[in-house]
Amino acid sequence: MSPYSWSADPDAVVVVPALAIGYWILLRVYPTRPWRVVCFAASLALLLAVFVTPLNHIALHYLLSAHLLQNVVVAEWAPALAVLGIPPRLADEVTRRSPVVRTLTQPALALSIWLGTYFFWHVPWLYDTALRHPNTLLHVEHACYFLAGAVFWWPVVHGRRSSGRKAAYLFAAFVLVSPLALLLALLPSPIYSFYEDAPRLWGLSPLTDQQIAGVTMAGEQALVFFYACAVYFARFLHEEDAREIYRSRPTP
């Protein structure tokens, strides 16, 4: 089979339509702004892009760097857009009525779940085992990434904390997750036997592939988290300026 074959991965052909139908039903009850609908649609489009295009086949059979890119999309980009797409009124109701959601989306716990999921699934023997069982364990891995990502982004998008605290939360996330990418980029030998034994593509050695994966992951996380942190830090400064102007007004 060609490395550039398209596939029909269940993560895309089953989950994506189910999410689309569920979201359409929810919009009938909780209408929201068009940009939120676009965000949710973009989340589904990203999932299709990493599970239907040749990227999926390359990730499953050839390159760690392709699989790392797939994981980043599933654990960070797609859940962030999906959470942005949730109507605020629905998010408020779910948080208010569900003790489980309310507990899991507490910032400290949400961050711990996301970090724990990331590091757990990158343990070499488990990473290799999941790739050798693409029809079972790998689907569990992807589901864990997406759900942990949604839990992580929920306090940022729908949380009631100040913009300053949200900026600190995002900065902490970047600082704590970055060692994983740096480790992959700096290790002197490959750590995933699955890709050591995989057919080579584009002349990349297993070590070079791993280094590219680490550098790409580190760069992506720096870009995404720096941007999100900067947005909320700017909001924090604006809110502080507004408070200062309000305090400085003369009392009538």
Give Cα separations from 211 to 190, 191, 243 (angstroms). 9, 11, 47
pLDDT mean over 161-189: 93
In a domain, 116, yes or no: yes
Q: Which residues does 214 contact at the CB level (< 8 Å), separation at least 6?
A: 68, 181, 182, 183, 184, 185, 186
Residues 103, 109 contacting (CB under 8 angstroms)? yes
User: Position 246: which residue type?
Assistant: Y
3-state secondary structure of 212: helix
In the chain, pLDDT over 70 holds for what percent of residues? 94
In a domain, 190, yes or no: yes
In a domain, 159, yes or no: yes
d(CA 36, CA 88): 10
Residue pLDDT, tens place only, 49-98: 999 999 999 999 999 999 999 999 999 999 999 999 999 999 999 999 99
- DSSP states along 155-184: HHHT--S-HHHHHHHHHHHHHHHHHHHHHH
Domain that holds residue 138: 10-248
In a domain, 97, yes or no: yes
In a domain, 161, yes or no: yes
Buried/exposed code over 95-126 (b: 16+ C-beta within 10 A; e: otherwise) = beeeeeeeebbebeebbebbbebbeebbeeee
Q: Which residues does 210 contact at the CB level (< 8 Å), separation at least 6?
A: 64, 65, 184, 185, 187, 190, 191, 192, 195
For the beta carbon of residue 242, count every other beta carbon within 10 angstroms.
Answer: 10
Specify the length of the chain in residues: 252
The pLDDT of residue 14 is 87
Task: Indicate the DSSP class of residue 74.
Answer: I
Residue pLDDT, tens place only, 192-218: 999 999 998 999 999 999 999 999 999
pLDDT mean over 164-177: 94
Number of domains in the chain: 1
d(CA 170, CA 178): 12
In a domain, 136, yes or no: yes
The pLDDT of residue 58 is 94
In a domain, 3, yes or no: no
Angle between helices 64-72 and 206-248 (to 10 degrees): 20
**Ramachandran region, residue 203 (left: φ > 0; alpha: ψ -120 to 50; beta: rest):** left
In a domain, 195, yes or no: yes
In the chain, pLDDT over 90 holds for what percent of residues? 82
Helices (H), 30-160: 34-52, 54-61, 64-72, 78-85, 88-97, 99-104, 107-121, 124-132, 137-157
Say what the pTM is.
0.92
Closest CA to 80 of 227, 184, 180: 227
Q: Is the pLDDT of residue 1 over 90?
A: no
